[in-house]
């Protein structure tokens, strides 16, 4: 019998509808888990227990007074979640894990958290991340390092490391992350969670502290792809407050999960994604996953795709340029913290981005990077004429040891190499667990066409129905 | 003008202007805040977007874009079908994002011009749209910032180094003001900061002017808030630059500010200290495309502009250029409209113009009152025979008007009425005159068939 905090969204909703338990009990269970393990895991930077319990109580009142029909109007009613600390939350400190924004309490709510609130979700607190999302290990947080729940010597990945750790430590039912290039898929893979990075523009960026505006994509990290699809449907859609959000109709990703015939799906396996240096354990697990997809009826075809290594340079220049611009507002005049509070990683990024946008260098760097980006987009478009989606490893290796990333200045970009091409092309991607290597989770990713979240979710769900990798959980007692 | 020539000596003035005009819109440029900020309590018209809070995003205000494009059309600019916003970076307390959303490579409007009274033409390089910055107040050693003004839509009109005289520059600015007002897109009130000027000033020799050669430097004077201020600042620069040139030196490329107290300009920033604005395309706002249908629709919305109105007053009412200029440019839209209303009541154009321009008391009078006054004062000739002669004369002297009448242009009648009025010194009864003209024209048309 699972503890309440171990439930998935779908299981928890069932219990709430049946009144097997209350939202208060569910929320309490999450806080008990947090109180028990977060001293070690350090997933949260802020907890809002009183507020959460009040929200849960309100949810219970609604369930009691309206009955199960209320869930049609409020599809996440009473479900506790953890929120990455770069989402602006009205009245709750929002720092993006940076000293620069320490003490900043936003007067407004991000569109995503507002939608979750409207859907009845209960926010437990804000999760740790690389400061301003600058990193792939959550070690650049200005506050503390989050550990990987599978091994306290390992990093959870990043930048949404706190969110992935919180989910896999069962401290919440689901969490929100955000990806610029790998920040949802990466930590999902390294912690064994299911991460759904939507198409750029599918989910509003309004109120999410900007990292690289042209690729930032908010999305869910959950225990199953079923849960992630369920949340994605709720947070997706055109937002009048985000000019880059898309008016493309939002499909019911959750209802359509079973609506697929795998024998009609052609999955491309890009040779270039397997030619880079992959850890043997990762290669083995991903190959096994591909075999599984074949078994399930999907057609797997080897294909040519531009080497992901070209994306490293393009992504680095575009992202640093946008970072240097987006962080200019933290000029030390407002928010109460002067610029000496910027961490080392942020300073490096601001300096490089300032350089690449400077007069005389713009054409050589930023402008050229944009041109290569167009080539990468074209390359994907060509590929999608042949296949429905693309499969590959999410990360080249399993989670690294704490401290290792600091030794390599381009660590993040190298670790995220397999997520960068699709991120700069704005494509949707999913990472789901496909087994353990050295007792650490391995993630396999599926990359789809723009706004093809529906098909992507259904194919990933078919895999999870046929396997139980997503049921693997870390032994938290071993962390102590 | 004389003082200007005296100060210039053998040198010639080279002047370009950057004019900022706040557009009148309901909402600010990139957020839903009310743009009606005049005399509002500080920081009452603000939101996460115009405060630049982390995570807030700009959404462009289409009303402002449309008004900027109308402005551009009125300045004879080409509208770019592809346009976009860019970020312009610099640090200042009144710039909450650390960058201003502006336009760099693909402004809404380019390549315009404006005819000047002197007969010269002002060459306009571009009109682009950007957001205004906040307002800094320096009090007791502290700087206070009022963000009400942050993100008010601002059109910037940039000329080439096109002006050779201060008169031309002032005329250009006044015309811009009139155009903005007649389009109803801005009051362009300089006292309220709704219109602000920056001047790029340099001097060259007569030879260089003849060869169309530009000097190798320019001095920029910012924050000019009145025409008088502009004249003083430009003249102060003329004196300073001429002194340097006569010593054989080339003035440095720099930004200078005009000091009212000393009557001189002072260095603000040298070229070496110039900002590198690190322009790049605003990733929060997708690029924009405007199709032909939209642009044509916009063109059809363009009302009669001051220049067109002046041309029409000269053509239809026999006014001189100077009188038309006095009515339209100096008097503003209201006076010109009053003029037309009084003429419509059957008064002769030149007489109405003279009355309005010379009799100050008419400014306070209504259209009907002026009409009454004019009718009382005129000894009207009602005698058809006396008027007929003038009508015949006017028709035979203006065969084009006859052609126009046949082509269905009713303006032709009005034009001929004006001619008869001129002939009779405004004494012919307008309704009788009109009747006679129409009868004569109809007869003439019938004969020619």
Position B379 scores a pLDDT of: 63
Comparing A346-360, B256-270, B431-445, the range with the smallest average pLDDT is: B431-445
Same structural domain, B272 and B328:
no
Position B427 scores a pLDDT of: 76
Residue B360: give its domain's CATH number. 1.10.10.410
> Are the C-beta atoms of A142 and A98 separated by less than 8 Å?
yes
Determine the distance in angstroms separating the CA of B270 from the nearest CA of chain A, rounded to an integer: 17
Position A36 scores a pLDDT of: 97
Residue in A87, A101, A244 closest to B284 by CB: A244
Distances (CA, A) of A164 to A137, A298, B9, B58, B442: 11, 29, 76, 30, 90
Among B267, B300, B333, which residue terminates a domain? B300
Given a cut of 80, whether residue B378 has pLDDT beyond it is no
Total domains in chain B come to 2
Comparing A81-90, B2-11, B110-119, the range with the smallest average pLDDT is: B2-11
pLDDT band per the 50, 70, 90 thresholds, residue A247: very high
Q: What is the pLDDT of residues B139-152, one digit of tens each?
A: 999 999 999 999 99
d(CA A321, CA A299) in angstroms, rounded, equals: 40
For helices A49-66 and A23-41, angle between their N-to-C axes, nearest 10 degrees: 160
d(CA B317, CA B421) in angstroms, rounded, equals: 9
Residue A15: give its domain's CATH number. 3.90.1300.10
B48 in contact with A, Cβ within 8 Å: yes
Q: What DSSP character marks residue B386? A: H
Residue in B60, B93, B280 closest to A357 by CB: B280
Given a cut of 60, whether residue B449 has pLDDT beyond it is no
- Average pLDDT rounded to a whole number, residues A343-372: 94
d(CA A278, CA A227) in angstroms, rounded, equals: 29
Q: Which strand (E) or helix (H) includes residue B188?
A: none
CA dihedral for A210, A213, A215, A218, sign (positive or negative): positive
Residue in B97, B284, B285 closest to A329 by CB: B97
- Report the predicted TM-score, pTM, of the whole model to 2 decimal places: 0.88
Q: Which two tokens stand for residue A126?
A: 């804000």
d(CA B278, CA B269) in angstroms, rounded, equals: 18
A380 in contact with B, Cβ within 8 Å: no
pLDDT band per the 50, 70, 90 thresholds, residue A10: very high
ipTM > 0.85?
yes
Give the structural domain span for B375. Answer: 306-448
Same structural domain, B119 and B134:
yes
Rounded to the nearest angstrom, the gap between the alpha carbon of residue A227 and the centroid of all alpha carbons in its chain is: 13
Beta-carbon-side half-sphere exposure of residue A10 (alpha carbons within 13 Å): 11
Same structural domain, B252 and B155:
yes
Interface of B with A in 266-285 (CB under 8 A): 276, 278-280, 283-285
Is A243's CB within 8 Å of B55's CB? Answer: no
For helices A280-295 and A453-466, angle between their N-to-C axes, nearest 10 degrees: 100
d(CA A168, CA A474) in angstroms, rounded, equals: 7
DSSP-H helix ranges across A119-238: 161-168, 185-191, 225-235
> Are the C-beta atoms of B218 and B159 separated by less than 8 Å?
no
Starting at the edge strand that comes first in sequence, how are the strands of the sheet with B86-89 ordered? B99-102, B86-89, B280-281
d(CA A179, CA A211) in angstroms, rounded, equals: 9
A211 in contact with B, Cβ within 8 Å: no
Largest CA distance in chain A: 66
Position B439 scores a pLDDT of: 86
Nearest CA-CA partner of A308 in A345, A332, A278, A286:
A278
d(CA A164, CA A182) in angstroms, rounded, equals: 13
Same structural domain, B213 and B256:
yes
Q: Which two tokens stand for residue A354?
A: 């300032």
Given a cut of 90, whether residue B346 has pLDDT beyond it is no
Using CB atoms within 10 A of its CB, is residue A263 exposed (0-12), middle (13-18) or buried (19+)?
A: exposed
DSSP of B297-330, one letter per residue?
Answer: HHHHH----HHHHHHHHHHHH---HHHHHIIIII
Q: Is B379 helix (H, G, I), strand (E, B) or coil?
A: coil
Given a cut of 80, whether residue B360 has pLDDT beyond it is no
Position B434 scores a pLDDT of: 86
Same structural domain, B177 and B210:
yes
Position B423 scores a pLDDT of: 80
Position A100 scores a pLDDT of: 97
Nearest CA-CA partner of A455 in A225, A110, A184, A119:
A225
Chain B residues with CB inside 8 Å of A331's CB?
Answer: 91, 98
Q: Identify any residues that bridge with A366 across adjacent strands, giving them in sequence order.
A: none
Total domains in chain A come to 1
Chain B residues with CB inside 8 Å of A209's CB?
Answer: 54-55
d(CA B109, CA B126) in angstroms, rounded, equals: 6
Q: Which strand (E) or helix (H) includes residue B115?
A: strand B109-115
Among B300, B321, B354, which residue terminates a domain? B300
Q: What is the pLDDT of residues A252-274, one digit of tens each?
A: 999 999 999 999 999 999 999 99
Rounded to the nearest 10 degrees, how much is the dihedral formed by the CA atoms of B301, B307, B311, B316? 60
Same structural domain, B156 and B121:
yes
Determine the distance in angstroms separating the CA of B28 from the nearest CA of chain A, rounded to an integer: 14
Rounded to the nearest angstrom, the gap between the alpha carbon of residue B4 and the centroid of all alpha carbons in its chain is: 24
Same structural domain, B376 and B227:
no
Given a cut of 80, whether residue B300 has pLDDT beyond it is yes
Position A472 scores a pLDDT of: 97
Query: Which positions of A are annotated as active-site residues?
Result: 84, 159, 183
> Are the C-beta atoms of A119 and A74 separated by less than 8 Å?
yes
Q: Which two tokens stand for residue B268?
A: 């603000």
To which residue do tokens 């020539």 refer?
B5
Q: Is B377 helix (H, G, I), strand (E, B) or coil?
A: helix
- B262-285: b (≥16 Cβ within 10 Å) or e: eebbeeeeeeeeeeebbbbbbbbb
Position B438 scores a pLDDT of: 86
Is A206's CB within 8 Å of B55's CB? Answer: yes
Q: What is the pLDDT of residues A17-26, one digit of tens each?
A: 999 999 999 9
Is A207's CB within 8 Å of B56's CB? Answer: yes
Nearest CA-CA partner of A164 in A178, A153, A152, A181:
A178
Position A311 scores a pLDDT of: 94
Give the structural domain span for A176. Answer: 4-479
Q: What is the pLDDT of residues B182-208, one digit of tens each?
A: 899 999 999 999 999 999 999 999 999
Q: What DSSP character marks residue A153? A: T
- Average pLDDT rounded to a whole number, residues A170-179: 98
> Are the C-beta atoms of B419 and B398 separated by less than 8 Å?
yes
Distances (CA, A) of B402 to A384, B6, B158, B391: 70, 52, 44, 12
Same structural domain, B385 and B410:
yes
A133 in contact with B, Cβ within 8 Å: no
Percent of chain B with pLDDT over 70: 97
Q: What is the pLDDT of residues A370-416, one digit of tens each?
A: 999 999 999 999 999 999 999 999 999 999 999 988 777 777 777 89
Position A452 scores a pLDDT of: 97
Q: Which two tokens stand for residue A13?
A: 């909703």
Interface of A with B in 287-346 (CB under 8 A): 321-322, 324-325, 327-331, 333-334
Q: What DSSP character marks residue A326? A: H
Q: Which two tokens stand for residue B434?
A: 């009109």
Position B429 scores a pLDDT of: 78
Q: What is the pLDDT of residues B402-413, one digit of tens each?
A: 888 888 887 888
Residue in B58, B99, B283 closest to A328 by CB: B99
Position B374 scores a pLDDT of: 82
Q: Which two tokens stand for residue A189?
A: 């893979």
Q: Is A124 helix (H, G, I), strand (E, B) or coil?
A: strand
Same structural domain, B337 and B292:
no
d(CA A163, CA A83) in angstroms, rounded, equals: 7
Q: Identify any residues that bridge with A87 across adjacent strands, giving them in sequence order.
A: A208
d(CA B10, CA B238) in angstroms, rounded, equals: 12
A37 in contact with B, Cβ within 8 Å: no
Q: At residue A224, what are phi and psi to the nearest 5 degrees?
A: -140, 160
Q: Which two tokens stand for residue B308?
A: 């067109």
Percent of chain A with pLDDT over 70: 100
Q: What is the pLDDT of residues B86-137, one digit of tens each?
A: 999 999 999 999 999 999 999 999 999 999 989 999 999 999 999 999 999 9
The nearest alpha carbon in chain A to B94 belongs to A333
Contacts of B142 (CB under 8 A, 6+ apart): none
Chain B residues with CB inside 8 Å of A213's CB?
Answer: 283-284
Given a cut of 80, whether residue A145 has pLDDT beyond it is yes
Contacts of A291 (CB under 8 A, 6+ apart): none
- Do the strands A266-270 and A299-303 form a parallel or antiparallel pair, or are they unpaired? parallel
Nearest CA-CA partner of B230 in B186, B199, B263, B276:
B199
- Average pLDDT rounded to a whole number, residues B241-270: 91
Among B254, B284, B300, which residue terminates a domain? B300
Largest CA distance in chain B: 86
Nearest CA-CA partner of A282 in A428, A411, A436, A155:
A436
Same structural domain, B408 and B312:
yes
Given a cut of 80, whether residue B296 has pLDDT beyond it is yes
Q: What is the pLDDT of residues A301-335, one digit of tens each?
A: 999 999 999 999 999 999 999 999 999 999 999 99
Determine the distance in angstroms separating the CA of A322 from the nearest CA of chain B, rounded to an integer: 8
Contacts of A262 (CB under 8 A, 6+ apart): A293, A296, A297, A298, A459, A462
Question: B150, B278, B287: best mutation site toward chain A, by most A Cβ within 10 Å?
Answer: B278
Position B441 scores a pLDDT of: 85
> Are the C-beta atoms of B276 and A361 separated by less than 8 Å?
no
> Are the C-beta atoms of B62 and B271 separated by less than 8 Å?
no
Q: What is the pLDDT of residues B411-438, one digit of tens each?
A: 888 888 888 888 877 778 778 888 888 8
Same structural domain, B200 and B348:
no
Chain A residues with CB inside 8 Å of B52's CB?
Answer: 329
Same structural domain, B286 and B405:
no
Rounded to the nearest angstrom, the gap between the alpha carbon of residue B300 and the centroid of all alpha carbons in its chain is: 19
- Cα-trace Rg, chain B: 27
Percent of chain B with pLDDT over 90: 60
């Amino acid at each position: 019998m699972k503890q309440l905090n171990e439930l998935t969204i779908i299981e928890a909703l069932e219990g709430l509808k049946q009144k097997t338990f209350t939202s208060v009990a569910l929320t309490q269970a999450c806080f008990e888990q947090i109180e028990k393990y977060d001293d070690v895991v350090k997933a949260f930077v802020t907890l809002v227990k009183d507020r959460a319990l009040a929200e849960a109580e309100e949810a219970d009142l609604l369930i009691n007074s309206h009955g199960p029909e209320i869930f049609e109007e409020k599809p996440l009613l009473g479900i506790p979640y953890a929120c990455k600390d770069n989402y602006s939350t009205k009245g709750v400190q929002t720092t993006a894990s940076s000293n620069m924004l320490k003490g900043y309490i936003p007067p407004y709510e991000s569109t995503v958290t507002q939608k979750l609130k409207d859907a009845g979700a209960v926010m437990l607190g804000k999760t740790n991340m690389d400061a301003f999302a600058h990193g792939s290990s959550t070690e650049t947080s200005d506050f503390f390092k989050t550990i990987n729940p599978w091994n306290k010597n390992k990093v959870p990945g990043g930048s949404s490391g706190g969110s992935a750790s919180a989910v896999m430590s069962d401290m919440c039912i689901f969490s929100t992350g955000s990806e610029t290039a790998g920040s949802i898929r990466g930590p999902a893979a390294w912690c064994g969670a299911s991460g759904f990075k939507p198409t750029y523009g599918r989910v509003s960026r309004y109120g999410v502290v900007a990292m690289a505006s042209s690729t930032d994509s908010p999305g869910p990290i959950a225990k199953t792809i079923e849960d992630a699809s369920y949340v994605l449907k709720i947070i997706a859609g055109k937002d009048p407050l985000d000019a880059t959000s898309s008016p493309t109709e939002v499909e019911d990703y959750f209802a359509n999960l079973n609506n697929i015939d795998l024998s009609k799906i052609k999955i491309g396996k890009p040779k270039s994604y397997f030619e880079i240096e992959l850890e043997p354990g990762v290669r083995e697990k991903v190959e096994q996953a591909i075999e599984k997809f074949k078994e399930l009826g999907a057609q797997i075809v080897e294909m040519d795709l531009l080497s992901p290594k070209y994306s490293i340079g393009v992504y680095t220049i575009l992202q640093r340029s946008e970072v240097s611009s987006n962080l200019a507002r933290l000029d030390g005049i407002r928010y109460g913290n002067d610029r000496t509070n910027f961490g080392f990683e942020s300073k490096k990024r601001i300096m490089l981005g300032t350089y690449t946008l400077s007069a005389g260098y713009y054409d050589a760097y930023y402008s050229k990077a944009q041109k290569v980006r167009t080539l990468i987009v074209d390359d994907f478009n060509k590929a999608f004429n042949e296949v429905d989606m693309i499969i590959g490893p999410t990360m080249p290796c399993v989670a690294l040891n704490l401290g290792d990333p600091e030794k390599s200045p381009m660590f993040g970009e190298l670790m995220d190499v397999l997520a960068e091409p699709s991120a700069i092309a704005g494509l949707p991607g999913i990472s789901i667990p496909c087994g353990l290597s050295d007792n650490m989770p391995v993630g396999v990713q599926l990359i789809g066409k723009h706004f093809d979240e529906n098909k992507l979710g259904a194919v990933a769900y078919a895999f999870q129905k046929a396997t139980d990798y997503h049921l693997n959980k870390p032994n938290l007692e071993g962390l102590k | 003008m004389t003082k200007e020539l005296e100060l210039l000596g053998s040198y010639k003035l080279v002047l370009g202007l950057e004019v900022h005009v706040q557009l009148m819109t309901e909402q600010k440029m990139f957020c839903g805040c009310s743009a009606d900020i005049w005399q509002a309590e500080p920081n009452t018209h603000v939101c996460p977007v115009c405060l630049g809070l982390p995570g807030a995003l700009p959404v462009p205000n289409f009303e402002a874009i449309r008004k900027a494009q109308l402005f551009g059309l009125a300045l004879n600019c080409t509208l770019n079908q592809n346009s976009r916003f860019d970020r312009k970076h610099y640090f200042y307390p009144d710039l909450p994002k650390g960058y201003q959303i502006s336009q760099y490579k693909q402004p809404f409007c380019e390549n315009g011009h404006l005819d000047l009274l002197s007969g010269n033409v002002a060459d306009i390089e571009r009109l682009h749209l950007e957001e205004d910055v906040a307002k800094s107040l320096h009090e007791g050693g502290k700087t206070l910032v009022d963000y009400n003004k942050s993100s008010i839509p601002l059109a910037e009109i940039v000329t080439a180094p096109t002006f050779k005289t201060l008169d031309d520059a002032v005329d250009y600015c006044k015309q811009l003001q009139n155009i903005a007002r007649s389009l109803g897109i801005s009051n362009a009130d300089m006292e309220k900061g709704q219109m602000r000027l920056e001047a790029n000033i340099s001097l060259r020799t007569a030879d260089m002017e003849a060869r169309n050669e530009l000097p190798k430097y320019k001095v920029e004077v910012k924050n000019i808030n009145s025409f008088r201020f502009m004249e003083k600042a430009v003249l102060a620069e003329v004196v300073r630059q001429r002194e340097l040139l006569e010593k054989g030196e080339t003035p440095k490329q720099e930004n200078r500010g005009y000091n009212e107290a000393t009557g001189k300009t002072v260095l603000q920033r040298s070229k070496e200290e110039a900002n590198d604005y690190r322009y790049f395309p605003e990733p929060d706002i997708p690029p924009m495309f405007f199709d032909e249908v939209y642009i044509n629709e916009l063109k059809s919305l363009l009302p009669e502009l001051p220049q067109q109105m002046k041309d029409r007053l000269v053509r239809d009412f026999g006014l001189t250029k100077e009188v038309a200029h006095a009515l339209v440019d100096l008097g503003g839209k209201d006076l010109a409209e009053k003029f037309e209303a009084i003429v419509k009541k059957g008064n002769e154009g030149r007489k109405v113009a003279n009355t309005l321009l010379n009799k100050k008391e008419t400014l306070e009078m209504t259209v009907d009152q002026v009409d009454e006054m004019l009718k009382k004062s005129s000894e009207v000739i009602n005698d058809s025979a006396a008027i007929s002669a003038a009508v015949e004369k006017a028709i035979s002297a203006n065969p084009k008007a006859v052609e126009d009448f046949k082509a269905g242009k009713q303006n032709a009648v009005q034009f001929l009425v004006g001619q008869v009025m001129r002939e009779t010194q405004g004494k012919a009864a307008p309704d009788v005159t009109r009747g006679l003209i129409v009868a004569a024209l109809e007869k003439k048309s019938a004969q020619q068939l």
